Amino acid sequence: MKLQELASALLITHIHGDKDTEITGIEADSRKVKQGDLFLCIPGLTADGHDYAPKAIALGASALVTERVLDVSVPQLVVKDARYAMAAISAHFFGYPSKELKIIGITGTNGKTTSTYILEKIIADQGHLTGLMGNIHIKIGDEYIENKATNTQEALELQRILRKMADAGTDYCIMEVSSHGLDMGRVKGIQFRSGIFTNLTQDHLDYHKTMDGYAAAKGLLFSRLGNGFSSDPNARQYAILNADDEASQMFHRLTAAQVITYGIHNDCDVRASDIRMTSQGTEFQLHSFAGEASIHMQLVGKFNVYNVLGAIAAALAEGIPLAAIRTSVERIAVVEGRMEVVNEGQEYLVLVDYAHTPDGLENALSTVSEFAEGKIITVFGCGGDRDKTKRPLMGKVAAHYSDFVYVTSDNPRTEDPDGILADIEPGLKEVNYPSNQYILLADRKKAIQKAIEEAGPKDVILIAGKGHETYQDIMGVKHDFDDRLVAKAAIKGRTQ
Ligand SMILES: CC(=O)N[C@H]1[C@@H](OP(=O)(O)OP(=O)(O)OC[C@H]2O[C@@H](n3ccc(=O)[nH]c3=O)[C@H](O)[C@@H]2O)O[C@H](CO)[C@@H](O)[C@@H]1O[C@H](C)C(=O)N[C@@H](C)C(=O)N[C@H](CCC(=O)O)C(=O)O
Ligand SMILES: Nc1ncnc2c1ncn2[C@@H]1O[C@H](COP(=O)(O)OP(=O)(O)OP(=O)(O)O)[C@@H](O)[C@H]1O
Ligand SMILES: N[C@H](CCC[C@H](N)C(=O)O)C(=O)O
Ligand SMILES: [Mg+2]
């Protein structure tokens, strides 16, 4: 594609150099540039892509996108906002793939991965080819694609993956949409069919600063759903909102899509009542605009009732019959790394869960407290280079529900692990949690081993924070670490 053709994706640009330069690929990271690529110079929070232009040119970049004219040998497409240009140019280069797919975006503090997983299963069971994008994996049908980001990919990568999905004949793409992704404009080039909101509780205040700022970022998904009106139901957009979360009121005002609400407590379109936890899972009565049903699902926890309700509302909007939805939901056994049981036949229960926010931990532990017959032992930590204010709050939650707490590391990244533990401890102290009921132990493997060694029959050990993750990030190095494997080995080691 010619540089001029790509420039046509934006109204206001200036080409400095040969307009007919041939572009064979796009890249925003100088380290990945190949011969013939257009290199996008993005000013970031820690680096400025303009500084890497010479390196990109040395690797063969045939042109640049810049915010100012640089003194370099290759043509430049000068734009006002390089990040916006990245979304627009990538969508153009890959032929606007989102128009060929029905894309359902899921945002919220907790429950995105779980909800994408549930919804994808319901839709795939209808015989559709589905794409899934989230932080466990990215896949088209049963084909897995390497996930280079934790959650929502950069605009360029997103468009590349969506093109693959469209070319494969994918009907639906179900994707997690993070607040960072929305705020940084990574999804600006995407036309969503529907948006689902799970909930808004504290996280990421290091980036968004205030809860209002965080809510505003989430709201971007719904303000962009601009068309609920069409004689063609396939062209309508839907905003699926949690009636029990007050942020939904703001999202309702922001969107021009048709709103479908779901919840447990407040009046809404898709509601659950008579929720009962059983040893096999969770049962509830479903009331919806499409009828009533008794659901007996294998997933545990009230929070999973919310996740299922959001997915059911989205599936109903796609015209999937309630009876079929019910069958699909009841078939789902577990979502990887979410309340996943590590079973080596031991007398105590070991659960690995991805709770890494105060609300997530509260939900996981309150669920455990509903069925625990013995003591509750919690192993958890907080990520480094992330919202520090959530640390004592998570300490407080752990203290509230647990008989013993191991405070340990969870991806310390560039921070001192013991410093993170010291930030968590005031939360335990604030509620006068006895000092003989918790240990600060930065070595996560040892913490898991100790918890397992000391568990009694019927006790429940909740290992929270890392879920499906297979690494521990220490100083930028990802060391192999999988809570499930560490727990398995510790259980076996103990019984020998
Ligand atoms: C806060 C944040 O999201 N930052 C992302 C952002 O960083 P940035 O704008 O500061 O970029 P930068 O590192 O300053 O670099 C600027 C430009 O120079 C380029 N560069 C840089 C170095 C070099 O050698 N060559 C080069 O070309 C970079 O590719 C980039 O284009 O753009 C970078 C390039 O795409 C991302 O890697 C980076 O994600 C960082 C690593 C990150 O940790 N992000 C997390 C917080 C995040 O986004 N998490 C959410 C999940 C949250 C949740 O759901 O709980 C997610 O969606 O993944
Ligand atoms: N609807 C929910 N409300 C509150 N907590 C939840 C909900 N769903 C899941 N959780 C808790 O949060 C944890 C993370 O769930 P999940 O991975 O689905 O969230 P996520 O939004 O994808 O997280 P991330 O932002 O890291 O991608 C789970 O392990 C569980 O403990
Ligand atoms: N999407 C979240 C994941 C956190 C997972 C936890 N294990 C951690 O590393 O803090 C984040 O990037 O903040
Ligand atoms: Mg997720």
Please write the tens of the pLDDT for every residue from 186-238.
999 899 999 999 998 778 888 888 888 888 889 999 998 877 788 888 888 99
Residues 173, 56 share a domain: no
CA nearest to 283, candidates 271, 296, 270: 296
Q: Which of 280, 302, 331 is the last residue of a domain?
A: 331
CATH of the domain at 372: 3.90.190.20
Residue 241: pLDDT above 80? yes
Tell the burial category of 278 from Cβ atoms under 10 Å away from its Cβ (0-12, 13-18, 19+). exposed
**Is position 24 annotated in a ligand binding site?**
no
Give whole-number Cα distances, 363 to 228, 262, 289, 302, 369, in Å. Answer: 34, 18, 28, 8, 10
CB-based burial, 48-59: b 16+ in 10 Å, e otherwise: ebbebbeebbeb
Q: Token digits for 137?
A: 């994996």
Please write the tens of the pLDDT for every residue from 101-156.
999 999 999 999 999 999 999 999 999 999 999 888 899 998 988 776 667 888 99
Residue 496: pLDDT above 60? no
Binned at pLDDT 50, 70 and 90, residue 334 comes out as: confident
The arithmetic mean of pLDDT across residues 456-485, rounded, is: 96
Q: Is the CB of 218 under 6 A from ligand 2?
A: no
CATH of the domain at 64: 3.40.1390.10
Specify the residue with its C-alpha closest to ligand 2, atom 18.
111
Residue 250: pLDDT above 70? yes
CA nearest to 232, candidates 96, 91, 125, 102: 102
**Is position 108 annotated in a ligand binding site?**
yes
Residues 318, 304 share a domain: yes
How many CB atoms lie under 10 A from the CB of residue 110?
25
Sole residue written with tokens 């609300």? 359
Interior angle at CA 390, CA 385 and CA 468, nearest 5? 70
How many independent structural domains does the chain possess?
A: 3
Q: How far is the CA of 417 from the centre of ligand 3 (A)?
A: 15
Contacts of 424 (CB under 8 A, 6+ apart): 381, 382, 391, 392, 394, 395, 407, 440
DSSP per-residue string spanning 133-198: ESSS-EEETTEEE---SSSSPPHHHHHHHHHHHHHTT--EEEEE--HHHHHTTTTTT---SEEEE-
Residues 261, 231 share a domain: yes
ipTM: 0.92
Residues 119, 41 share a domain: no
Residues 307, 169 share a domain: yes
CA nearest to 486, candidates 458, 456, 461: 461
Q: How far is the CA of 369 from the centre of ligand 3 (A)?
A: 24
Cα gap 310→355, rounded to integer Å:
19
Residue 174: pLDDT above 70? yes
> Percentage of the chain surpassing pLDDT 70?
99
The arithmetic mean of pLDDT across residues 322-330, rounded, is: 98
CATH of the domain at 224: 3.40.1190.10
Cβ 423 vs Cβ 384: under 8 Å: no
Residues 245, 105 share a domain: yes
Domain that holds residue 12: 3-93
How many CB atoms lie under 10 A from the CB of residue 468?
18
Residues 313, 428 share a domain: no
Residues 288, 259 share a domain: yes
Nearest ligand to the C-alpha atom of residue 199: 2
**Is position 302 annotated in a ligand binding site?**
no
Q: Three-state DSSP class for 429?
A: helix
Residues 169, 224 share a domain: yes
Average pLDDT of the residues of the chain: 94
Specify the residue with its C-alpha closest to ligand 3, atom 13.
386
Sign (positive or negative) of CA dihedral 460, 462, 467, 470? negative
Q: How confident is the model at residue 216, as a pLDDT?
A: 85
The pTM of this model reads: 0.90
**Is position 386 annotated in a ligand binding site?**
yes
Residues 224, 129 share a domain: yes
CA nearest to 168, candidates 79, 100, 266, 95: 100
Sole residue written with tokens 């540039």? 33
Q: Which of 63, 93, 123 is the last residue of a domain?
A: 93
Residue 430: pLDDT above 80? yes
Residues 189, 223 share a domain: yes
Residue 37: pLDDT above 80? yes
Residue 71: pLDDT above 70? yes
Q: Which of 93, 115, 133 is the last residue of a domain?
A: 93
Q: How confident is the model at residue 279, as a pLDDT?
A: 63
Binned at pLDDT 50, 70 and 90, residue 72 comes out as: very high
Specify the residue with its C-alpha closest to ligand 2, atom 13.
355
Residues 326, 246 share a domain: yes
